[in-house]
A and B are shown apart, each in its own frame.
Chain A
């Protein structure tokens, strides 16, 4: 599972964001992008020492300033549902290849040259298809 997929799933959920400078921002995630830039609503900002507080209706945080994000535990279960739905769609279309196990381990893509190969099931399927074509031609 990718950290940014989890973050995307956490949209509309409350979260705590700690910045590299130690400030923390509590609020609801409105949106995020591939650089981890985020939009929060109904925010409470806490100073580094936890002694000063600021309330603001919304704020935008540059991703590169973030140290970590704390998100509600239940969000991780919602990601699984989303990815498995996607997989089902892809498998039906028979596109691209790549089995479920591969999608769950992103680094595997780079190592094994993901795209082409796909899972063993997919590969044998393709070969099988071609094979039957040849056989038909021969028999005719």
Chain B
């Protein structure tokens, strides 16, 4: 009944954008074009050599055009992760 994103509001979400970046933050709002408000957001920068680096960013409006995936984050599991020890290749941008 509730349209997809309703249940994500005021929860921690992970956004993957079409340029292959990963933003984490609290979803504060959205509209019909999937423009998003992300509060207390940070970017996770993936690297196969140094592990995941977190960049604090703050309050963001992400334009819907650039959103590829929105996922709910289980904070309990997420807090258990040791990000600097996780090494992974960064995602590529979407190719049209």
Contacts and interface: CB of A to CB of B under 8 A. Distances in A.
Interface residues of B, number: 26
Given A3-B29, A6-B29, A76-B28, A68 B66 contact: yes
Interface in B39-63: 39-40, 57-63
A75 B39 CA distance: 11
A110 B5 CA distance: 13
B37 A3 contact: yes
Contacts of B31: 2-4, 106
B74 interface: no
Contacts of A105: 6, 9
Interface in B13-48: 17, 19, 28-31, 35-37, 39-40
Nearest to B9: A105
B19 A68 contact: no
B9 A68 contact: no
B76 interface: no
Contacts of B77: none
Contacts of A69: 60-61, 63
Nearest to B19: A67
Counting from the closest, the 5 A-B pairs by CB-CB distance are: A1-B29, A3-B35, A107-B3, A68-B62, A69-B61
A75 B61 CA distance: 12
Interface in A106-140: 106-108, 110-111
B95 interface: no
A110 B31 CA distance: 11
Interface string B60-71: 111101100000
Given A67-B19, A70-B57, A111 B1 contact: yes
